[in-house]
């Protein structure tokens, strides 16, 4: 069920009635003192009931049957405006997987998959289902099963999105076309003015929604504390990914005395803002230092030769529209290790598509994409049959990106669905953005020079016309004494590692699990289809921490799992007959792939 803002008149009437009743009780000898305006929220009883499969995504029906009464959903009333609760309620959707052993249950473990704007119901359920496939015969698998005994696993839809009260932003204004192809022509004032126009209209559309000022991390953190209270826990135990680390840090800054076990996996720099500029440099670094050398190590598969510098310069030979499509696709592939082998093949697909183009792609009229498809059908991309099939699929994806971004595509009215509207509101309400137009343009041009394939990912995360934050970020000092656990890979592109390490360096009592040479975003649980030391190191350390045992060392360094093609020539150090940490490996890998794909900002 989708909830919208209730009629404020009814809410105010209800509040007035409650206030009058409290006054009568006081006059009759009741408790003296001021009335807690949040008392009705704190006293509510959550009506746990079977979950609606329509809100839990693919596979929910069978999961609901398998879990039975252990899987429950509820709606929690919370103030729209925490500082003025008389303005009315909104609703926050909760889901919990109850402990598999009521005698061993210790508390609830609340999960947030990031975004901001991502729904924590379907995503959380995928993770919980994967953990249920842990192998009790394996030491790490047995520890992971203990998590499901000790905790009720809780996911929620943050305010603004999912099955909670939704924020949407719409306008009759038409979006303008923005040429984001990585060439000098895309950096004209006219192009950047079109981008600024769209940013302005997005901000104006959200400003017209009265809910917008209250979609921020401060309000969501307070929702989480109410959730903790209603779940009956003295402390909040938390597992946050990506933006969820920012949210967890915000909660810890507001309620340090209420923090229990808190894992921040793939951390945003809480000392900075949410503008995402670090992503651009991180994606370019992953490309030049990891992915292209990986392709060059395997010319027999990637069919790209062994010269990394030649690969780097190849993009300058591409049609601008194809170059843009390549940048978009590669930026999306940099998040997860299970797409590692696709990265070089996407590069190959772009090179071969360029060879098939009859000339520069027209801009005034749509190109004949069918003709390009036909030419692709008759062209072999790689000698390796499996690589050829994957590269062919990547070529089709690149064509689709070009078609969707072509200047002739009809323009649509400005409209942001709940996930995107919530993401924009949280970023801009939480922290200041660049408001100087000349500085904004200079930043974009600098990014284009530093990372021509990827600069466009920084363009969308600006709050130039927002009007400033609606909340004040908590001081970092409150976090310094806390026993937090951060988890980070060296080449994470969504939450750039230099920022994560800068944040970690200011937390005196925090611990970190660090995986060099890895780019995976959202590390826990790590590397399902393996029994290597990497999985044991990451999963064991994180699970033990959640169960109550913090690492003795400030930083635990874990060896990265070899990449797919490298693993073909790498001899496993595992003894014969070693057990895996998970059962049903293909199903579990699919569940975690679904979970991690949802972590993408």
* Averaged pLDDT of the chain: 88
Identify the residue whose tokens are 């003015």. 193
Residue 416 bridge partners (DSSP): 169
Rg over alpha carbons for the chain, rounded to the nearest Å, is 25
pLDDT of residue 10: 34
For residue 4, the model assigns a pLDDT of 39
According to the model, what pLDDT value does residue 31 have?
53
**187 pLDDT tier (thresholds 50, 70, 90):** confident
Which of 65-79, 178-192, 560-574 has the highest average model confidence (pLDDT)?
Answer: 65-79
User: What pLDDT score does 507 carry?
Assistant: 97
> What per-residue confidence (pLDDT) applies to 344?
95
- pLDDT confidence band for 575 (50 / 70 / 90): low
Q: Give the whole-angstrom CA distance, residue 170 versus residue 85.
A: 27
Please report the beta strands in 327-482, taking only residues with DSSP state E, as ranges in sequence order: 413-416
pLDDT at 334 (0 to 100): 83
How would you class 35 by CB atoms within 10 Å of its CB: exposed for 0-12, middle for 13-18, buried for 19 or more? middle
Q: What gap in Å lies between CA 572 and CA 529, rounded to an integer?
A: 13
**Per-residue confidence (pLDDT) for residue 476, from 0 to 100:** 95
- pLDDT, mean of residues 254-259: 98
Kindly report, residue by residue over 525-542, the tens digit of the pLDDT: 997 766 677 889 999 999
Pairing of strands 236-241, 259-265: parallel
pLDDT of residue 349: 97
Share of the chain above pLDDT 90, in %: 66
Distance, C-alpha 436 to centroid of its chain: 28
Give 571's pLDDT tier (boundaries 50, 70, 90).
low
Q: Is the pLDDT assigned to residue 14 strictly greater than 80?
A: no
Structure tokens at 54: 């329509």
What is the spatial distance between Cα 446 and Cα 451, in angstroms, rounded to a whole number? 9
Q: What is the mean pLDDT of residues 276-287?
A: 81
Helix (H/G/I), strand (E/B), else coil: 87: helix
pLDDT at 401: 94
**Residue in 358, 368, 427 with CA at minimum distance from that of residue 160:** 427
107 pLDDT more than 80 = yes
Q: What is the pLDDT of residue 24?
A: 34
Q: How far is CA 585 from CA 48, 108, 578, in A?
A: 32, 27, 15
17 pLDDT band, cuts 50/70/90, is very low
Instruction: State mean pLDDT over 192-196.
Output: 89
Query: In sequence order, which residues have a C-beta less than 8 Å from that of residue 511 and are 6 or more positions away?
Result: 483, 484, 485, 486, 545, 550, 551, 553, 554, 555, 556
Check residue 458 and give its pLDDT.
55
pLDDT at 128 over 70: yes
Report the distance separating Cα 179 and Cα 173, nearest Å. 19
Report the pLDDT value the prediction gives residue 523, as an integer from 0 to 100: 94
Strand segments, DSSP code E, in 437-551 are 484-489, 511-515
Give me the pLDDT at residue 23, please.
Answer: 39
Query: Of 562, 573, 572, 571, which is closest to residue 297 (Cα–Cα)?
Result: 562
Rounded to whole angstroms, the Cα distance separating 5 from 165 reads 7
Read off the pLDDT of each residue in 203-223 and give the average, rounded to a whole number: 97
Per-residue pLDDT of 342-366, as tens digits, reads 999 999 999 999 999 989 999 889 9
Environment class of 405 (CB within 10 Å of its CB; exposed 0-12, middle 13-18, buried 19+): middle
Q: Tell me the average pLDDT across 136-159.
A: 96
The pLDDT of residue 574 is: 61
Q: What is the pLDDT of residues 494-515, one digit of tens each?
A: 899 999 999 999 999 999 999 9
pLDDT at residue 7 in the model:
34
Question: What confidence score (pLDDT) does residue 1 get?
Answer: 36
Predicted local confidence at residue 217, as pLDDT:
98
- pLDDT score, position 457: 62
For residue 296, give Cα distances in angstroms to 292, 327, 380, 383, 466: 6, 19, 20, 16, 45
Q: Please, which residues have CB within 8 angstroms of residue 220's CB and are 6 or more apart in sequence? A: 158, 159, 247, 250, 426
Residue 198 pLDDT > 60:
yes
Whether the pLDDT of residue 450 is over 90: the answer is: no
Look at residue 98 in the predicted model and tell me its pLDDT: 96
Evaluated on CA atoms 295, 299, 304, 307, the torsion sign reads positive
Contacts of 41 (CB under 8 A, 6+ apart): 77, 78, 79, 85, 226
Q: What is the mean pLDDT of residues 315-326?
A: 92
pLDDT at 225: 98
**154-158, 183-187, 351-355, range with the lowest pLDDT:** 183-187
Q: Is the model's pLDDT at 92 over the cut of 50?
A: yes
């Amino acid at each position: 069920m989708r909830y919208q803002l209730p009629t404020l008149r009814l809410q105010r009437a209800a509040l007035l009635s409650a206030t009058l009743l409290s006054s009568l009780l006081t006059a009759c000898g009741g408790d003296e003192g001021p009335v807690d305006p949040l008392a009705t929220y704190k006293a509510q009883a959550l009506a746990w009931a079977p979950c609606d499969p329509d809100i839990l995504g693919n596979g929910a029906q069978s999961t609901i049957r398998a879990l039975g009464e252990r899987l429950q959903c509820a709606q929690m009333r919370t103030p729209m405006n925490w500082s003025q609760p008389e303005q009315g309620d909104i609703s926050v959707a909760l889901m919990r997987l109850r402990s598999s052993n009521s005698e061993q249950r210790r508390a609830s473990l609340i999960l947030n998959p990031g975004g901001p704007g991502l729904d924590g119901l379907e995503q959380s359920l995928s993770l919980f289902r994967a953990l249920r496939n842990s192998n009790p015969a394996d030491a790490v698998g047995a520890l992971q099963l203990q998590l499901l005994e000790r905790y009720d696993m809780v996911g929620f839809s943050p305010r603004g999105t999912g099955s909670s009260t939704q924020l949407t932003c719409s306008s009759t204004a038409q979006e303008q076309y923005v040429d984001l192809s990585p060439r000098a022509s895309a950096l004209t004032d006219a192009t950047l003015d079109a981008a600024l126009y769209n940013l302005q209209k997005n901000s104006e559309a959200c400003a017209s929604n009265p809910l917008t000022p209250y979609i921020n991390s401060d309000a969501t953190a307070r929702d989480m504390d109410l959730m903790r209270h209603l779940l009956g826990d003295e402390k909040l135990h938390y597992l946050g990914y990506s933006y969820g680390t920012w949210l967890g840090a915000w909660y810890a800054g507001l309620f340090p005395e209420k923090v229990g076990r808190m894992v921040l996996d793939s951390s945003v720099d809480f000392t900075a803002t949410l503008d995402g500029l670090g992503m651009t440099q991180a994606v370019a670094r992953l490309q030049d230092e990891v992915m292209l050398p990986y392709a060059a190590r395997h010319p027999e598969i990637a069919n790209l030769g062994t010269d990394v510098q030649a690969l780097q310069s190849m993009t300058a030979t591409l049609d601008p529209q194809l170059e843009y499509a390549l940048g978009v696709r590669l930026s999306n592939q940099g998040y997860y290790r299970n797409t590692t082998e696709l990265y070089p093949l996407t590069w190959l697909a772009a090179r071969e598509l360029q060879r098939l183009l009859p000339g520069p792609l027209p801009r005034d009229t749509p190109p004949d994409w069918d003709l390009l498809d036909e030419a692709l059908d008759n062209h072999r991309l790689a000698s390796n049959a499996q690589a050829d099939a994957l590269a062919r699929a990547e070529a089709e994806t690149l064509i689709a990106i070009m078609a969707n971004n072509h200047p002739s595509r009809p323009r649509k009215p400005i409209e942001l669905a709940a996930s995107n509207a919530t993401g924009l509101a949280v970023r801009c309400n939480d922290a200041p953005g660049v408001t100087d137009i000349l500085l904004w343009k200079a930043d974009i041009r600098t990014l284009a020079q530093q990372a021509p394939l990827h600069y466009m990912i920084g363009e969308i995360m600006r709050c130039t016309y927002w009007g400033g934050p609606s909340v004040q970020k908590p001081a970092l000092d409150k976090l310094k004494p806390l026993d937090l656990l951060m988890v980070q890979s060296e080449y994470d592109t969504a939450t750039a590692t230099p920022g994560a390490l800068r944040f970690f360096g200011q937390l005196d009592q925090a611990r970190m699990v660090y995986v060099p040479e890895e780019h995976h975003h959202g590390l826990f649980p790590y590397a399902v289809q393996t029994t290597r030391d990497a999985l044991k190191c990451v999963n064991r350390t994180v699970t033990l921490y959640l169960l109550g045992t913090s690492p003795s060392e400030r930083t635990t360094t874990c060896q990265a799992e070899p990449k797919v093609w490298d693993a073909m020539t790498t001899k496993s150090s595992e003894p014969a007959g070693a057990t895996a940490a998970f059962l049903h490996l293909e199903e579990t890998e699919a569940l975690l792939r679904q979970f991690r794909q949802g972590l993408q900002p």
